[in-house]
Amino acid sequence: MIGIIKGASENQAKIKYGMIGGGPDAFFGSVHRKAAAMDGEIDLVAGAFSSSGEKSRIQGKELMLEPGRIYDSYAEMAEEEAALPEDERIDFVSIVTPNYLHHPAAKLFLEAGISIICDKPMTTTLKEAEELCRITKSKDRVFAVTYTYTGYPMVKQAKKLIEDGVLGDIRKVVIEYPQGWLAKTIEKDGAKQAVWRTDPKQAGASSCMGDLGTHIENMSSYVTGLEIEEIMADLSVFGEDRVLDDDGNVLVHFDNGARGVFYASQISVGAENGLKFRIYGTESSLEWHQENPNYLYLKYGDKPEKIYKHGNDYLEEVARHIRAANQTDADAILVSCTDLATLPIVDTLEAELGKPVISSNSATLWASLRAAGINDSVTPGGTLLRHC
């Protein structure tokens, strides 16, 4: 990231942020708000939650914001927030709108001296992205893009193993990200996410590759450190009357001579959020699955494979970067469980923390937290831990 978030003084207990988008019926706005609230260190204090002023006010009221900090448009919000005293204005803005609004909204706030945390893709064109980079640098602000999957401990472990030469020279990188939610043309039935993601005026030049392929490239460059030199892409449109890709296959040439295969899909029936990578070197290979993220597989040609598991002391320091949740000011603790069999931990937690523990086996909530890069787990001693 360029620079550091400005505005939060040593005496200021929390960082203040605003949000653009994330109004009624939106999906990722609520995901980001829940994730930001988890450690109690960031407060949402302002927002322009919809292109409709009425909907923005409805959402702001539901979030119990001060009426004067609920705005009818992001332009009004940028102007009004920048005019506030430094210790009152927001420290950064979270942009969770459809893709086409990322550039104009981010530009306004950067020019007003406010840092950005933006959903991917950063913009819909390279020219727009380069402009935002120049403004960010000139204003000494932060511009962060929410590629959350690289935050998993086992992804960091994989990166370190490659940096240490455990795989030898990288020869092959295979990454896939299949989903099946657009296997049918649900945009014709008015499904909000499908409507804008299949509309080139809102999504940009690509649907599938712009949405999922960008995660693949980010994961590839982060874990391997390799840069792409050449690609040959086959983008397909299977949904009737669609104009943007809903499936894609890409052959990749990397700067060290390695080869790659990237596969992204929104029409792979039965697939949910199946990001996974396989990376092959001259000495060994690695495999990781986002839907089972706590395990990393190191494979050899002449001896048994190793399985790395999160939360263990044998991991590299960067993969052991966990910390206890800040419970001091909380009235209750939220624990998300994927399996009802894990619910007995609630009694242990309540006894040790001395506060109510609210459990949930909601698949939607768990998926949302995973998408936001948050994984909660309980150690044998019953301490709630959060991965950073």
Spell out the domain ranges in the chain: 15-146, 149-319, 322-387
Contact 96, 74 (CB under 8 A): no
pLDDT value at 244 more than 90:
yes
Tens digits of residue pLDDT in 262-305? 999 999 999 999 999 999 999 999 999 999 999 999 999 999 99
CA nearest 87: which of 164, 201, 167, 6? 6
Which residue did the predictor score with more confidence, 259 or 365?
Answer: 259
Those residues with Cβ within 8 angstroms of residue 29's Cβ, 6 or more apart along the chain or in another chain: 19, 21, 22, 23, 49, 96
Partners of 253 in beta bridges: 230, 259
The domain made up of 149-319 is a member of CATH 3.30.360.10? yes
Tell me what pLDDT residue 85 has: 94
* DSSP per position, 134-189: HHHHHHT--EEE--GGGGSHHHHHHHHHHHTTTT-SEEEEEEEEE--TTSS-GGGG
Region 15-146: CATH code: 3.40.50.720
Q: Could you tell me if residue 69 is left (phi over 0), alpha (psi between -120 and 50 degrees) or otherwise beta?
A: alpha
Query: Which residue spans within 65-142 are E strands per DSSP?
Result: 92-95, 115-118
Helix axes 74-83, 102-111, angle to 10 degrees: 10
Those residues with Cβ within 8 angstroms of residue 136's Cβ, 6 or more apart along the chain or in another chain: 2, 3, 110, 116, 142, 143
Tell me what pLDDT residue 325 has: 42
Tell me what pLDDT residue 243 has: 97
* pTM higher than 0.85: no
Tell me what pLDDT residue 39 has: 79
Tens digits of residue pLDDT in 81-101? 999 999 999 999 999 999 999
Q: Could you tell me if residue 52 is left (phi over 0), alpha (psi between -120 and 50 degrees) or otherwise beta?
A: beta
Task: Tell me what the mean pLDDT of segment 53-77 comes to.
Answer: 96
Contact 17, 90 (CB under 8 A): yes
CA nearest 289: which of 149, 121, 167? 149
The two three-digit tokens of residue 134, written as one number? 């120049």
Domains 15-146 and 149-319 in one fold = no
